[in-house]
Protein backbone atom coordinates (compact mmCIF):
# COMPACT_ATOMS: atom_id res chain seq x y z
CA UNK A 1 0.00 0.00 0.00
CA UNK A 2 3.02 2.27 0.35
CA UNK A 3 3.39 4.77 -2.45
CA UNK A 4 6.28 6.84 -3.58
CA UNK A 5 6.61 10.33 -2.14
CA UNK A 6 4.72 12.64 -4.49
CA UNK A 7 5.20 16.33 -4.93
CA UNK A 8 2.94 18.78 -3.14
CA UNK A 9 -0.73 19.01 -4.13
CA UNK A 10 -0.68 15.86 -6.24
CA UNK A 11 -3.81 13.72 -5.94
CA UNK A 12 -3.97 9.94 -5.60
CA UNK A 13 -7.12 7.91 -6.22
CA UNK A 14 -6.89 4.69 -4.19
CA UNK A 15 -9.13 1.64 -4.30
CA UNK A 16 -10.93 1.75 -0.96
CA UNK A 17 -11.01 -2.03 -0.56
CA UNK A 18 -7.42 -2.85 -1.51
CA UNK A 19 -5.51 0.43 -1.16
CA UNK A 20 -4.11 0.01 -4.69
CA UNK A 21 -3.32 3.15 -6.65
CA UNK A 22 -5.93 3.60 -9.40
CA UNK A 23 -5.01 7.02 -10.80
CA UNK A 24 -2.58 9.78 -9.95
CA UNK A 25 -2.72 13.46 -10.87
CA UNK A 26 0.36 15.65 -10.57
CA UNK A 27 0.03 19.23 -9.43
CA UNK A 28 -2.89 21.67 -9.46
CA UNK A 29 -5.29 22.36 -12.31
CA UNK A 30 -8.95 22.22 -13.36
CA UNK A 31 -10.10 18.65 -13.98
CA UNK A 32 -12.99 16.22 -13.84
CA UNK A 33 -12.22 12.93 -12.12
CA UNK A 34 -14.64 10.09 -12.80
CA UNK A 35 -14.69 7.74 -9.81
CA UNK A 36 -15.86 4.30 -10.94
CA UNK A 37 -15.55 2.50 -7.58
CA UNK A 38 -15.51 3.43 -3.92
CA UNK A 39 -12.18 5.14 -3.46
CA UNK A 40 -10.04 7.16 -1.11
CA UNK A 41 -9.13 10.49 -2.70
CA UNK A 42 -5.83 11.58 -1.19
CA UNK A 43 -4.71 15.17 -1.69
CA UNK A 44 -1.06 15.55 -0.79
CA UNK A 45 -1.47 18.98 0.76
CA UNK A 46 -2.94 20.67 3.80
CA UNK A 47 -6.74 20.97 4.19
CA UNK A 48 -6.13 24.72 4.12
CA UNK A 49 -5.30 24.38 0.41
CA UNK A 50 -9.07 24.18 -0.22
CA UNK A 51 -11.17 27.32 -0.48
CA UNK A 52 -14.59 25.64 -0.25
CA UNK A 53 -16.55 22.53 -1.21
CA UNK A 54 -19.79 21.96 -3.09
CA UNK A 55 -21.99 18.95 -3.72
CA UNK A 56 -24.16 18.38 -6.77
CA UNK A 57 -25.96 15.05 -6.88
CA UNK A 58 -23.30 12.44 -6.18
CA UNK A 59 -20.47 14.74 -7.29
CA UNK A 60 -18.04 16.48 -4.93
CA UNK A 61 -16.67 19.77 -6.25
CA UNK A 62 -13.49 21.02 -4.60
CA UNK A 63 -12.51 24.66 -5.12
CA UNK A 64 -8.82 25.11 -4.37
CA UNK A 65 -7.24 28.31 -3.08
CA UNK A 66 -5.04 28.48 -6.18
CA UNK A 67 -8.22 29.07 -8.23
CA UNK A 68 -8.49 25.60 -9.74
CA UNK A 69 -11.61 23.44 -9.46
CA UNK A 70 -11.81 19.66 -9.35
CA UNK A 71 -15.07 17.75 -9.76
CA UNK A 72 -15.02 14.20 -8.39
CA UNK A 73 -17.89 12.49 -10.20
CA UNK A 74 -19.79 9.78 -8.25
CA UNK A 75 -17.87 10.56 -5.06
CA UNK A 76 -21.00 10.09 -2.92
CA UNK A 77 -22.30 7.08 -4.86
CA UNK A 78 -22.97 4.13 -2.54
CA UNK A 79 -21.57 0.78 -3.63
CA UNK A 80 -23.03 -2.66 -2.89
CA UNK A 81 -21.56 -2.51 0.62
CA UNK A 82 -23.09 0.90 1.31
CA UNK A 83 -19.73 2.68 1.12
CA UNK A 84 -19.01 5.96 -0.64
CA UNK A 85 -15.65 7.49 -1.43
CA UNK A 86 -13.67 9.35 1.23
CA UNK A 87 -11.44 12.43 1.03
CA UNK A 88 -8.21 12.74 3.00
CA UNK A 89 -5.33 15.21 3.08
CA UNK A 90 -1.74 14.31 3.88
CA UNK A 91 0.80 16.92 4.96
CA UNK A 92 3.70 17.19 7.38
CA UNK A 93 1.27 17.13 10.31
CA UNK A 94 -0.39 13.83 9.42
CA UNK A 95 -3.50 12.51 7.69
CA UNK A 96 -6.75 14.48 7.89
CA UNK A 97 -10.15 13.03 7.00
CA UNK A 98 -12.83 15.32 5.56
CA UNK A 99 -16.08 13.90 6.97
CA UNK A 100 -19.05 15.24 4.98
CA UNK A 101 -22.51 15.53 6.57
CA UNK A 102 -25.46 13.62 5.08
CA UNK A 103 -23.04 11.79 2.79
CA UNK A 104 -25.35 8.80 2.31
CA UNK A 105 -28.38 10.91 1.41
CA UNK A 106 -29.38 12.11 -2.05
CA UNK A 107 -27.52 15.23 -3.13
CA UNK A 108 -29.04 18.47 -4.47
CA UNK A 109 -29.75 18.89 -8.18
CA UNK A 110 -27.96 22.24 -8.18
CA UNK A 111 -24.53 22.68 -6.62
CA UNK A 112 -24.68 23.65 -2.94
CA UNK A 113 -21.94 24.47 -0.48
CA UNK A 114 -21.02 21.68 1.92
CA UNK A 115 -18.77 21.96 4.96
CA UNK A 116 -16.90 18.88 6.21
CA UNK A 117 -15.62 18.17 9.69
CA UNK A 118 -11.88 17.49 9.71
CA UNK A 119 -10.66 14.57 11.81
CA UNK A 120 -7.18 13.12 12.21
CA UNK A 121 -7.00 9.54 10.92
CA UNK A 122 -4.75 7.09 9.08
CA UNK A 123 -5.02 5.66 5.59
CA UNK A 124 -5.37 2.18 7.05
CA UNK A 125 -8.47 3.25 8.96
CA UNK A 126 -10.33 3.71 5.66
CA UNK A 127 -8.92 0.85 3.59
CA UNK A 128 -9.93 -2.80 3.34
CA UNK A 129 -11.63 -5.06 5.86
CA UNK A 130 -10.29 -3.03 8.77
CA UNK A 131 -11.55 0.22 7.28
CA UNK A 132 -14.06 2.29 9.23
CA UNK A 133 -16.60 4.40 7.38
CA UNK A 134 -18.27 7.40 8.97
CA UNK A 135 -21.57 5.53 8.96
CA UNK A 136 -20.03 2.48 10.62
CA UNK A 137 -18.44 4.53 13.38
CA UNK A 138 -21.64 6.42 14.12
CA UNK A 139 -23.72 3.25 13.82
CA UNK A 140 -21.50 1.37 16.23
CA UNK A 141 -21.55 4.15 18.81
CA UNK A 142 -25.32 4.44 18.46
CA UNK A 143 -25.69 0.70 19.07
CA UNK A 144 -23.60 0.95 22.22
CA UNK A 145 -25.56 3.99 23.36
CA UNK A 146 -28.84 2.15 22.80
CA UNK A 147 -27.69 -0.80 24.87
CA UNK A 148 -26.55 1.58 27.60
CA UNK A 149 -30.05 2.97 27.76
CA UNK A 150 -31.59 -0.51 28.02
CA UNK A 151 -29.05 -1.48 30.68
CA UNK A 152 -29.78 1.57 32.79
CA UNK A 153 -33.51 0.95 32.55
CA UNK A 154 -33.03 -2.68 33.55
CA UNK A 155 -30.82 -1.85 36.52
CA UNK A 156 -33.32 0.74 37.71
CA UNK A 157 -36.21 -1.72 37.45
CA UNK A 158 -34.52 -4.31 39.64
CA UNK A 159 -36.30 -7.20 37.93
CA UNK A 160 -34.54 -10.35 36.76
CA UNK A 161 -36.68 -10.40 33.62
CA UNK A 162 -35.52 -6.92 32.58
CA UNK A 163 -31.90 -7.89 33.11
CA UNK A 164 -32.41 -11.00 31.01
CA UNK A 165 -33.80 -8.90 28.18
CA UNK A 166 -30.75 -6.65 28.47
CA UNK A 167 -28.39 -9.62 28.17
CA UNK A 168 -30.22 -11.01 25.15
CA UNK A 169 -30.24 -7.61 23.47
CA UNK A 170 -26.57 -7.14 24.28
CA UNK A 171 -25.64 -10.39 22.51
CA UNK A 172 -27.30 -9.13 19.34
CA UNK A 173 -25.67 -5.73 19.74
CA UNK A 174 -22.22 -7.28 20.17
CA UNK A 175 -22.60 -9.11 16.87
CA UNK A 176 -23.87 -5.96 15.13
CA UNK A 177 -21.11 -3.76 16.48
CA UNK A 178 -18.38 -6.29 15.70
CA UNK A 179 -19.60 -6.51 12.09
CA UNK A 180 -20.03 -2.75 11.60
CA UNK A 181 -17.07 -1.48 13.62
CA UNK A 182 -14.21 -3.93 13.93
CA UNK A 183 -12.84 -2.89 17.29
CA UNK A 184 -12.91 -4.92 20.47
CA UNK A 185 -13.36 -1.76 22.56
CA UNK A 186 -16.94 -1.19 21.39
CA UNK A 187 -17.86 -4.86 21.77
CA UNK A 188 -16.37 -4.79 25.27
CA UNK A 189 -18.52 -1.76 26.08
CA UNK A 190 -21.69 -3.63 25.19
CA UNK A 191 -20.72 -6.71 27.18
CA UNK A 192 -19.70 -4.67 30.21
CA UNK A 193 -22.91 -2.64 30.21
CA UNK A 194 -24.98 -5.82 30.05
CA UNK A 195 -23.23 -7.20 33.14
CA UNK A 196 -23.34 -3.84 34.90
CA UNK A 197 -27.11 -3.78 34.49
CA UNK A 198 -27.37 -6.73 36.87
CA UNK A 199 -25.16 -5.41 39.64
CA UNK A 200 -24.81 -1.63 39.50
CA UNK A 201 -26.97 1.39 40.16
CA UNK A 202 -27.94 3.52 37.11
CA UNK A 203 -25.38 6.21 38.01
CA UNK A 204 -22.59 3.63 38.10
CA UNK A 205 -23.69 2.18 34.75
CA UNK A 206 -23.60 5.66 33.25
CA UNK A 207 -20.04 6.15 34.52
CA UNK A 208 -18.91 2.84 33.02
CA UNK A 209 -20.49 3.67 29.66
CA UNK A 210 -18.92 7.13 29.56
CA UNK A 211 -15.46 5.74 30.31
CA UNK A 212 -15.72 3.00 27.68
CA UNK A 213 -17.03 5.37 25.01
CA UNK A 214 -14.15 7.77 25.64
CA UNK A 215 -11.73 4.87 25.18
CA UNK A 216 -13.59 3.79 22.02
CA UNK A 217 -13.36 7.29 20.57
CA UNK A 218 -9.62 7.38 21.34
CA UNK A 219 -9.15 4.03 19.60
CA UNK A 220 -11.03 5.21 16.51
CA UNK A 221 -8.97 8.40 16.31
CA UNK A 222 -5.72 6.49 16.66
CA UNK A 223 -6.23 3.06 15.06
CA UNK A 224 -3.46 0.51 15.41
- SS3 sequence, 46-106? CHHHEEEEEEECCEEEEEECCCCEEEEECCCCCCCCCCCCEEEEEECCEEEEEECCCCCCC
Nearest Cα to 85, choosing from 58, 63, 109? 58
What's the N-to-C CA distance of the chain in angstroms? 16
- For residue 28, what pLDDT is reported? 81
Q: Could you tell me what percent of the chain has a pLDDT over 90?
A: 46
**Reported pTM:** 0.58
Question: What pLDDT, in 10s, does the model give residues 53-108?
Answer: 999 999 999 999 999 999 999 999 999 988 999 999 999 999 999 999 999 999 99
Task: Tell me the DSSP string of 128-144.
Answer: GGG---HHHHHHHHHHH
Question: What pLDDT, in 10s, does the model give residues 101-159?
Answer: 999 999 999 999 999 999 999 998 898 754 445 454 445 445 555 555 554 454 455 45
What residue ranges do the domains of the chain occupy? 11-128, 134-221
Cα Rg of the chain, angstroms: 21
Nearest Cα to 183, choosing from 213, 220, 146, 211? 220
Amino acid sequence: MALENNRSESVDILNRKTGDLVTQYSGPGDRVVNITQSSVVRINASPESVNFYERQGDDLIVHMRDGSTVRYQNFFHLDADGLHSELIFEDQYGTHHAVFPFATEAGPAAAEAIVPVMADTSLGALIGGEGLSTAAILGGLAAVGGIAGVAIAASGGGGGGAAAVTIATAVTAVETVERAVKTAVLAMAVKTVALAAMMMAPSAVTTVVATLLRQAAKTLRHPR
